[in-house]
Amino acid sequence: MTREQSLDKKIMLWCGQHNWLCFHTNVGKIKFYDEKQKEWRWFDTGLPVGWPDLMILTDKGKVIYCETKIHPRKPTKEQVKTINILSERGFIAFVCYSIEEFVEKMKSEGMICY
């Protein structure tokens, strides 16, 4: 497991402990063998390039989008663009580098009070 995957899991666990649903979303394609067509084909996940790693549904009816990174990695241009679009539309959307940063963001957004 990579350090970024470990961060994803920590956030997912934290969300579960707060009665929130957290989904890891995958962007991309995989190749598989189609038995009917007898050929290799691509399967597209359907999410646009740049979509954040985590989609969180809170117990207050809010949707949060979180792109996880580990320093020194930075979000791609597509990820920054998507986060900006989601934020402009009223969603909480951000890049997060640690579980502590995630919790602080939830506090600053008024999602938790402690």
What does DSSP assign to residue 43? E
67, 52 contact by CB (below 8 A): yes
Alpha-carbon torsion (89, 92, 98, 101), positive or negative: positive
Instruction: Give the helix/strand (H/E) hosting 21.
Output: strand 21-24
Q: Using one digit for the tens of pLDDT, what is the confidence trace for 29-66?
A: 788 898 988 999 888 778 888 999 999 999 989 999 99
Note the pTM of the prediction, 2 decimals.
0.85
Task: Report pLDDT for 44.
Answer: 79
**Residue linked to tokens 């949707």:** 63
What residue ranges define each of the domains in the chain, with the CATH number in brackets?
3-108 (3.40.1350.10)
Q: Using one digit for the tens of pLDDT, what is the confidence trace for 68-108?
A: 999 999 999 999 999 999 999 999 999 999 999 999 999 99
Burial of 46 (0-12, 13-18, 19+ CB in 10 A): exposed
Task: Report pLDDT for 16.
Answer: 97
Task: Report pLDDT for 32.
Answer: 86
Alpha helices in 43-98 (DSSP H): 77-88
Task: Report pLDDT for 63.
Answer: 97
- Cα–Cα distance, 68 to 11 (Å, whole number): 9
Long-range contacts of 26-33 (CB under 8 A, 24+ apart): 27/51
